Amino acid sequence: MSTMSTASSPIVIDSNLAVWAVLPNVAVESTVDLLANWHRQRRRIVAPDLWLAEATSVIRRLVFHKVISPAQGKVAIDDLFSLGVETILLDQQLYQNAFEWAEKLQQSKIYDSLYVALAEHLQAELWTADKRLVNGAKQAGIRRAHWVGEGK
């Protein structure tokens, strides 16, 4: 499976990809394989500081709707911290950039755009489990946006 860029470029992942990687009944083999491959290549895997809150909220929602048990939820949260993701604190300029990206992507909220703005700032690949985000990003001219299922 190709990571579609040089081994030196950073990779921005979103909370959807993280959740896919840690939940057994949600996990997609390609997601786990991608993360393992990036770690073998010593790639810098990063995400904006909101990623843990977003991922934990998804896990909590799955527990609330009885898709997973509370015990599975707690393990999944622990596993998020084991993914080797560097959390980046975003500054005012990145929030401004995310605001502009939300406009370009025609989104009412900036959450997804924060990942896009960080990827743009770092000249990084953006990897997500959200096909809608990838499609919107590519339509907005971001060539290095990838869906985890691309390699299948």
CATH of domain 11-151: 3.40.50.1010
Mean pLDDT score, 28-32:
78
Q: Tell me what pLDDT residue 4 has.
A: 47
What's the rounded Cα separation, in Å, for the pair 9 and 84? 16
Where in the chain are the domains?
Answer: 11-151
Q: What is the value of pTM for the model shown? A: 0.89
Grade residue 1 by pLDDT with cuts at 50, 70 and 90: very low
Task: Report the share of the chain in percent with pLDDT over 90.
Answer: 77
**Residue 38 dihedral angles phi and psi, to the nearest 5°:** -65, -40
pLDDT tens column, 47-82: 999 999 999 999 999 999 999 999 999 999 999 999
